[in-house]
Amino acid sequence: MFDKYNRKINYMRISVTDRCNLRCEYCMPVVGVPKKSHNEILRLEEIENIALEGIKLGIDKIRLTGGEPLVRKGIMGLIGNIANAKGLKDFALTTNGLLLKKHAKELKDKGLKRVNVSIDSLNDKTYEKITKGGNLKKVLEGIEEAKKAGLAPLKLNVVLIKGTNDHEIGDFIKLTRNEEIEVRFIELMPIGEASGWSNDYHITNNVVKELFEELVPIDVENKSIPTKRYKIPNYKGTIGLINPLSECFCDGCNRIRITADGKIKPCLHSDFEINIRKLSKEGFSMAEILEKSINKKPEKHNITSEEFVPIKRGMHQVGG
């Protein structure tokens, strides 16, 4: 599938729930969010159908996300039903890792290829503060279990918050010395709880390159990929920099997002959405709905412009 700017769309990110067992300070309000009723959330069969129809149309990479995808009941069955679809090349899940120790092996057995684990600090207290009560030990155990299960390549997501965890950049980079993992630093975006945060909390990923001049670029020439990859010579792993603020990678945007309540978001930074159930009721096939959505992808976002208005949804509803 190609959009009207001739971008090939082959990546679908599906948020399977807007619920979460953490309350990361930049993502979700401490008090949580009003619970949606079961009827408002896509059934697993609906998610499966969207994924399988997408694959038939050329989607070859799917990521399940949330909220926390591992709290969604029936997630393993869903994974098993999607994993073997012909044409699917990459099947991944983004998780906060709290339930990974328990589920890593089953995820692998069901056919998931790999996981990204979000871990914003390697210090118990800082982790607990950022996540509002999360237990770092459990996440680290989950990461070990994911490695054992062969969910590879393992990627760790680190959102840098100025004054909170930016002094840990070196500790995260050290994790790549002896292991074939990727540590990905993500610039904090003005979405969700962070949408009202002042510039004092934002830091660009240039700081990583300034601190570690020995970082060697791997594929940074490719402007259209969101993750610019580097490595330290002789280290086994890699470092990824995801720079939504300091760089615009819309030229190569290849994705659409499905929200847990059944909306297709052609662009993360726009409130424009397509209601899947409504269009289905009107008689449109899933293929037509997906094609409509792809045609609505804007050329680019305006996140860094003066006129930018943060989207109304939080990241826990969109999935990152």
Q: Which residues bind ligand SAM (CB under 6 A)?
A: 20, 26-27, 65-68, 94-96, 118, 157, 159, 186, 188-189, 191-192, 194, 315-316, 319-320
Joined tokens for residue 27:
């993502």
**190 is an interface residue for ligand SF4 by CB under 6 A:** no
Nearest partner of 133 among 26, 33, 25, judged by Cα: 25
Least distance from ligand SAM to the Cβ atom of residue 86, Å: 27
- State the binding partner of 146 from ligand SAM, ligand SF4, none, CB within 5 to 8 A by kind: none
| Binding string, residues 254-293; x marks residues near ligand SF4 by CB under 6 A | ----------------------------------------
**318 is an interface residue for ligand SF4 by CB under 6 A:** no
Contact 151, 119 (CB under 8 A): no
In whole angstroms, how far apart are CA 253 and each of 53, 63, 223, 224, 248?
A: 20, 15, 11, 7, 10
Residues between 87 and 126 that touch ligand SF4 (CB under 6 A): 96, 118
**Options 12, 16, 22, 122; binder of ligand SF4; rule CB under 6 A:** 22
Inter-axis angle of helices 100-110 and 136-149, nearest 10: 20
**Options 1, 12, 28, 289; binder of ligand SF4; rule CB under 6 A:** 28
What element of type H or E holds 242? Answer: strand 238-242
Residue 100 DSSP one-character state: H
- The residue range among 24-32, 69-77, 197-205, 262-270 that interacts with ligand SF4, by the rule CB under 6 A, is 24-32
Contact 245, 189 (CB under 8 A): yes
In whole angstroms, how far apart are CA 44 and each of 8, 16, 101?
A: 27, 8, 23
Q: Which residues bind ligand SF4 (CB under 6 A)?
A: 20, 22-24, 27-28, 66-68, 96, 118, 315-316
